[in-house]
Structure 1
Amino acid sequence: MRSIELIEVGPRDGLQNEPRLLSTVDKIELIECCVSAGLRRIEAASFVRPEKVPQLADAEEVMASVPRVQGVSYAGLVLNRKGLYRALAAGVDEVNVVVAATEEFSRRNLAVGVEDALRAWTEIAAEAASTGVRTTVTIAAAFGCPYSGDVSAEEVIGIARRVAEARPDEISLADTIGVGTPDQVRRLTDAVRAVAPGVPLRGHFHNTRNTGYANALAALDCGVSTLDVTVGGIGGCPYTPSPQGNVATEDMLYALDRMGVRTGVDINAVIDISAWLSERLGREVPALLGRAGTFPPTT
């Protein structure tokens, strides 16, 4: 039986665009519930300028109280060495560094050009390696850019080749605005694997145009064994019109469970977390499984 790793990014990527601010206590409870449900890699915080992402301004406070359970790894988003130092001081186990596939997305979203982002990644990689902290590079807008339109595979391959030089533990291909299709996922995954041999690949898919789940399954068919998910399917890039959220943890689990793919995550526990989260956010989350129920029905 095949097994894959799900990375819960709801506490960071999922919450960052929510208009209702969650309390620090609620964020810690969300993370505690995810750990109890069996999720073992959780993106818990963002170490960027607090005024840029008010929802995540309490990164240090959250990290100070997350449950330290053997086998559970907490990640923080960092964009530069200053963010890395904050993340290390807060006790993260891994860092996620973003490099955009296009110049315009990089400047508008990361406030630096692609070359500067690549330089920052190289510096972060060296510092993180000396501390034993795991590193992931996410290539954002790898399947399309809200400003530049289509992104060629050659552009993404070029970025992947350069980030691989600093020996990341993982490269994540992100459909940041939810425009990719399964055939594109297959081509890009194979191409990046060829220029970054031996580096594990990870998939990050938004469901903006209802292709997120098909893209995630296509990535699995190509040998990607790690997928980002968000409880309730919350999230979505603020730079795309009408973002609809990331692939939902529970909806993804339903497909994987029915396919006989092991994740170690309790699907019913995740459904309960989503119901709790809906109450805290004051709206119904996008995930469908909480409404439709599992099949065959379980208790």
Structure 2
Amino acid sequence: MLGMTANLPMTVPMDGMPDRITIYEVGPRDGLQNEKSVVPTEVKAEFVQRLVGAGLETVETTSFVPPSWIPQLSDAPDLLQQLADTGHGPKRPVLVPNERGLDNALAAGVGAIAIFGSATETFAQKNLNRSVAESVEMFTPVVRRAREAGLWVRAYVSMCFGDPWEGPVPVEQVVDVCARLMDLGCDQLSIGDTIGVGTVGHVAKLLESLDAQGIPASKTAVHFHDTYGQALSNTLTALRHGVTVVDASTGGLGGCPYARSATGNLATEDLVWACRGLGIETGVDLDALVGTSLWMAEQLGRPSPSAVVRALGGA
């Protein structure tokens, strides 16, 4: 039953793990973007507020993409207005695809943005209607202007481990794209396993290769989808290689509207449970988080896919 400490794992630390990690919560943006029915703005606002209340200090709230791209996120300005009292500065990033998106984000008073590139040419065309090189060119003024405005900037790179159209993606190709985006002046890189095909050896190899390119684990976050049940094991491997920022989605919500094989993200509850067992501090109240997932599952009309939510919440 929710809140029973007898159900919590015994803490047994492991060598090589960090003392603390930052969870970069993507539920309100990446988690909801693929929902077929539009979630009311007030529900999204309460979702963010509940997440903040549970101790999640970094919550990616929405995206300033054209409404025709992702109708679910067309209420971005209204959502941020409703969240004005909770703040949406450096710890409330929003996704922007281009300069027009940046203009809208700046008008909304955000303090942090994220751009999203692709490690493969096919997904770059499907997601942004541009080649990889053209995408980098498009992002160049976005990052420059954002930094001039004092914003914190993150760079997402999708399809870092496999692409449904191109198959396995060479590590060298991924590193090259990551380096080009980070060279624009981004503060943080998030490497994404968009279709969830990565495994622990692949994760270790990519992180080592990024470090050799001058992109250390201290500037790298990981973003794993759980299509094949590998998201948590891949994340723990990344932690052992020095990563301390992990993208996760409360309740395991998520997917990608341009890649049908991309299922849910790593569930934040599952990550917090594993970290508690390892003695890794997250700052998250697990009971409050599970309660939030159960609430959101009611809003969406289906149970949460998170194993921890099902176990603790009786879902």
Is TM (by shorter chain) over 0.5?
yes
* Displacement of 1:21: 1.4
Larger relative contact order, structure 1 or 2 (CA cutoff 8 Å, min sep 6): 2
Count of residues paired in the alignment: 294
Counterparts of 1:262 and 1:56, CA distance in 2: 32
* Structure-to-structure mapping, 1:1-299, within 5 angstroms: 2-66=19-83, 67-69=85-87, 73-197=91-215, 200-293=219-312
Unaligned runs of 5+ in 2: 1-17
Shift of 1:24: 0.5
CA RMSD for the aligned pairs? 1.6
Q: CA deviation at 1:95?
A: 0.7
Q: Secondary structure at the match of 2:279?
A: coil
Question: Residue 198 of structure 2 contacts residue 230 of structure 2 at CA under 8 Å; is this kept in 1?
Answer: yes
The 3-state SS of whatever aligns with 2:255 is: coil
Instruction: Supply the distance in 2 between the matched residues of 1:118 and 1:195 (Cα, whole angstroms).
Output: 18
Cα contact 1:40–1:71 (8 A) shared by 2: no
Q: TM-score, normalised by structure 2?
A: 0.90
Q: State the SS of the aligned residue for 1:74.
A: coil
Residues in 1 aligned to 2:87 and 2:69: alpha-carbon distance in whole angstroms: 31
Query: Separation in 1 of the partners of 2:68 and 2:117?
Result: 21
SS in 2 for 1:178: coil
CA distance in 2: counterparts of 1:95 and 1:273, whole angstroms: 25
Structure 2 contact 80–88 (Cα < 8 Å) conserved: no
Which whole-Å deviations, capped at 9, do the CAs of 1:179-223 have from their partners, x for residues lacking one? 111111111011112213456100011001110111111111111
> 2: distance between equivalents of 1:62 and 1:122?
27
Structure 2 distance, partners of 1:268, 1:177, is 29
Q: CA deviation at 1:70?
A: 9.4
Question: Do the aligned residues in 1 keep the contact of 2:164 with 2:261 (CA within 8 Å)?
Answer: no
The 3-state SS of whatever aligns with 2:93 is strand
- Which string of whole-angstrom CA distances, capped at 9 and with x for unpartnered residues, describes residues 9-42 of structure 1? 0000000001221100000000000010011111
Question: In 2, distance between residues paired with 1:208 and 1:239?
Answer: 15
Q: 1:154 to 1:89 in 2, by over 3 A?
A: same
CA distance in 1, matches of 2:102, 2:192: 21
Distance 1:54 1:71, change over 3 A: closer
Contact 1:103 1:114 in 2 (8 A): yes
Gap regions ≥5 residues in structure 1: 295-299
Q: Distance in 2 between matches of 1:200 and 1:209?
A: 27
CA separation in 1, counterparts of 2:87 and 2:74? 24
| Counterpart code for 1:82 | R
Distance in 2 between the 1:97 and 1:164 partners? 11
TM-score by length of 1: 0.94
Q: Deviations over 1:19-68 (max 9, x none)?
A: 22110000000000001001111110111011211111100000112143
Q: Given that residues 144 and 180 in structure 1 are in contact (C-alpha distance below 8 angstroms), is that contact kept between their aligned partners in structure 2?
A: yes
In 2: Cα distance, 1:107 partner to 1:160 partner: 17
Structure 2 letter corresponding to 1:221: R
Question: What is the distance in 2 between the residues matched to 1:136 and 1:244?
Answer: 23
Per-residue CA deviations over 1:204-246 (Å, capped at 9, x if unaligned) read 1100111011111111111111011111001022344454300
Task: Please give the alpha-carbon distance, in whole angstroms, between the structure 1 residues aligned to 2:175 and 2:88.
Answer: 36
